[in-house]
Structure 1
Amino acid sequence: MPEHHPPCPIGTRQGAGPDPAALFADYARRWPDEQAVAMQFAGLLDDPADPFVRGRLAGHFTGSAWLVDMAGERVLLTHHRKLGRWLQLGGHADGDRDLARVALREAEEESGLPGLVVEDLPFDIDRHWIPGRDDVPGHWHYDVRYVVRTTGGEDFVVSDESLALAWRDIREIAMDAASDASMERMARKWLARTEASVR
């Protein structure tokens, strides 16, 4: 089971952050079954257009949060206002190359929860199509997901990004055939990790 790094408080995430190419290479090593996808992500870094800004309409990086409670048994999901599905919190990098910081910022803004902490290494990656809407054509999101943890209360505040928020049992997501495929994958990864940690 891949190792994981201790979480990092938002106040200590300063500067440009780690080298994205090194992160994707490390991800491919930790998750060999996802090596092809990791190489797709690494290849995007060589594009002359900045893949960390949403203006690159062919596709761009986003950062998401697998936001778990202190017990590690539930994850906070958003009923996404634009996509109409229950998903993890997250959003655009908007030029920030530290995607862990992006994930943490989005989690804080979309949940209203104080004192969140983020792990240093990507927990999951997912390339998915975003349908066109208004004047924005359809495009690819190269989403990099990080584990974010609560350190205190769980009383969230629903932002304008969401129709609703809800804490969901991770085991239920892993067993729910109706779950989004990447949500089910993250739930299974999380359960495997937590079970390995208690052996």
Structure 2
Amino acid sequence: MSSSALTGIGCYSPQTARDRGMWQRLQAFCRQEPQAFGRNPETGHVTGSAFVMSPDRKNVLLTHHKKLNRWFQLGGHCDGIADVPFVALKEAYEESGLACIRPLSACVFDVDIHEIPPGARECAHLHYDIRYLFQAEAGGIAASGESHALAWVPITRLEDVTDSPGVLVLREKLEPFLSSSC
């Protein structure tokens, strides 16, 4: 499958019907929504996430999200910044306490569009979540105020902490992604 690119997001090579559907929905959203990188819950918005791998690439760093009370990859809102790889890396640093994180590819690893439930100040809305793959190089982990805890979770044991398809996709996509040139 050939790759295509979106300004502010990067290049992506959809491999499955799920991937192609998510990428097409993201492309349409970015064409139609002038504030795609903002934070308007009435229209939804683009978010940036980081799957941070351990140095040996056998574990991924997950955060137990306070607001949603579930285990997820690191990440957050763009808040008007139309540079999603930067946002994903910034969020990874802020939420992990790691001292050095490096990208494993300049390409998008995954796209996952999912609904965020309503909260005290926001209606239910969509996150157009763009995921990138990183590797921890140095530093210990320390949970941020947005998290109950952080944990290095073995890739082979992801289902022990989450049933989220958006996290479990890591296991099926990791090896093919690392062996591709995007």
The normalised TM-score by structure 1 is 0.80
Give ranges in structure 2 of 5+ residues lacking alignment: none
The code of the aligned residue for 2:164 comes to D
The code of the aligned residue for 1:133 comes to G
Are 1:90 and 1:107, in contact at CA under 8 Å, matched by a contact in 2? Answer: yes
Question: 1:71 maps to which residue?
Answer: 56
3-state SS of 2:76 partner:
strand
After superposition, residues 35-114 of structure 1 pair within 5 angstroms as: 35-55=20-40, 57-114=42-99
3-state SS of 2:55 partner:
coil
Question: 1:6 maps to which residue?
Answer: none
Question: 2:168 maps to which residue?
Answer: 184
The code of the aligned residue for 2:132 comes to Y
**Closer, same or farther: CA 133–177 of 1 in aligned 2, 3 Å:** closer
1:63-89 deviation line (CA, Å, top 9, x unaligned): 000000111110000000000110000
The code of the aligned residue for 2:136 comes to T
Are 1:50 and 1:56, in contact at CA under 8 Å, matched by a contact in 2? Answer: no
After superposition, residues 127-138 of structure 1 pair within 5 angstroms as: 127-138=113-124
Are 1:49 and 1:56, in contact at CA under 8 Å, matched by a contact in 2? Answer: no
The code of the aligned residue for 1:184 comes to L
Are 1:171 and 1:191, in contact at CA under 8 Å, matched by a contact in 2? Answer: no
Residue among 107, 130, 134 paired with 1:148: 134
Name which of structure 1's ranges 42-51 and 29-38 shifts more when overlaid on structure 2: 29-38
Q: CA deviation at 1:57?
A: 2.5
The normalised TM-score by structure 2 is 0.87
Q: CA deviation at 1:129?
A: 0.4
Are 1:79 and 1:165, in contact at CA under 8 Å, matched by a contact in 2? Answer: yes
Give ranges in structure 1 of 5+ residues lacking alignment: 4-17
**Closer, same or farther: CA 103–177 of 1 in aligned 2, 3 Å:** closer
Q: CA deviation at 1:179?
A: 2.4
3-state SS of 2:31 partner:
coil
